[in-house]
Amino acid sequence: MQMLRVLLVALLLAVSLAACGGSSATSPGNEYGASGGDSTAPSDGVDRSKLAKELYFYNWSDYIDPAVLDQFEAEYGVKVIVDTYDSNEDMLAKVRAGNSGYDIVVPSDYAVQIMIAEGLAAPVDKTLLPNLVHLDPNLLDQYFDKGNAYSIPYMYGITGIAYNTKFFPNGIDSWAAILEPSQVAPFAGKFSMLDDARETPGAALRYIGQSLNSTDPAALARVKEILLAQKPYLAAYNSSDVNRKLASEEYVLAHSWSGSAMQARNGLGDEFSGNPNIAFVIPKEGGMIWMDNMMILKDSPHAYTAHVFMNFLMRPEVAAQNVEYIGYLTPNKDALELLSPEIRELYAQGFAPDEEMYKRLEWAVRNEGTTAFDDLWTEIKGQ
């Protein structure tokens, strides 16, 4: 009987330790104690005594529903402080400088590769992420982080052209509509290209029949010609408020992320109202598919709390609410069935890829040659 009691106590202790994330030896960050004691944890397994008061989240702009942050604070007493960026390169520059103070950043695929290679990320502790079971296995284990050792998918999306059907009643099917001077001349000052070293050269590369990862010098020279010929007609290189400017009809056309176009169409909470004339297309020459991922920084001051937040965002109800608000695509398979008919209808109208569209989409990868894009982009923007 005594032996049975000892075994039972040992078993309970093991289960409680597993719920807390195991020993400090395998856990990242400086908040993980070695004790594993968890007298404050309710059934969700979160040890409230280990939570920080604040969490610093460096995210893309217009990329989280503020109500989700309020809910997290109400439930866990943690205030999430959000700073925003509009390109992977801006985020990387801040993080590379060190001591950014941020806990979580959201790099896209190729930027995940860069961050892992440069030792900027902390490994994720999957024992603290039970809600990983809700993610679509087809969207895990991607080329940029095999085994998801450092990154967890947040949202994914596609890049194409958003346009106002009042001005383009016959639709758009080619990058020529935004890249050819003869076609954009009537819309001078009323359209934008993304302010992005991979996206904008990538679009021009696809237009000339090349991979958006091509660093062939002749192809890049042609890209430079195309983008410089287009530049006098552009309102701006813009990755920050394309959604608002399309919705208000300051722009009639824009190189755009799918969710930004969806926001222009549907509006964004209390921020601005939508415009029902906004449509989105992946041109026949093809476009980019990408995935943004949550990553805890190597020097994150609050790594335990960061895991709790990431796990919270992977709850199907939370993921569904978030994606309804921001209009991108969730990797959370169990959230999909919770989505409204309205958002599903827009996905079906081209704001999400179908099988045919997938064939025209390409991921951006990082390789030995891809720093050429940074140089090219500096030259184009400087002229």
| Structure tokens given for 136 | 């679509």
**Shortest Cβ 310–ligand SPD spacing (Å):** 17
CA 140 centroid distance within chain:
14
Closest CA to 367 of 86, 109, 94: 109
User: For residue 337, what are the CA distances in angstroms to 74, 135, 341, 344, 370?
Assistant: 26, 13, 10, 10, 39
Nearer to ligand SPD, 230 or 260 (CB): 260
* 196 known ligand binder: yes
**Shortest Cβ 332–ligand SPD spacing (Å):** 17
Determine what percent of the chain falls in helix, strand and coil, rounding each to the nearest 5.
45, 15, 40
**Shortest Cβ 340–ligand SPD spacing (Å):** 20
* 62 known ligand binder: no
Amino acid code (one letter) for 257: W
* 199 known ligand binder: yes
**Shortest Cβ 308–ligand SPD spacing (Å):** 23
- Tell me the residue number closest to ligand SPD, measured at CB: 60
Nearer to ligand SPD, 63 or 144 (CB): 63
Nearer to ligand SPD, 242 or 252 (CB): 242
**Shortest Cβ 98–ligand SPD spacing (Å):** 24
The DSSP 8-state label assigned to residue 109 in this structure reads H
The DSSP 8-state label assigned to residue 221 in this structure reads H
**Shortest Cβ 51–ligand SPD spacing (Å):** 27
Nearer to ligand SPD, 212 or 252 (CB): 212
User: For residue 201, what are the CA distances in angstroms to 65, 176, 179, 224?
Assistant: 31, 14, 11, 8
Closest CA to 179 of 220, 234, 216, 217: 234
Nearer to ligand SPD, 88 or 100 (CB): 88
Q: Which residues are paired to 280 by β-bridges?
A: 162
Half-sphere exposure of 43 toward its Cβ, with a 13 Å CA cutoff? 0
* 110 known ligand binder: yes
Interface residues with ligand SPD (CB under 6 A) are 60-63, 108, 198-199, 257, 260, 290, 292
Nearer to ligand SPD, 243 or 305 (CB): 243
CA 302 centroid distance within chain:
21
| Structure tokens given for 239 | 């990755």
Annotated binding residues for spermidine, written as ranges, equal 110, 196-199
Please report, in range form, the residues annotated as the binding site. Answer: 110, 196-199
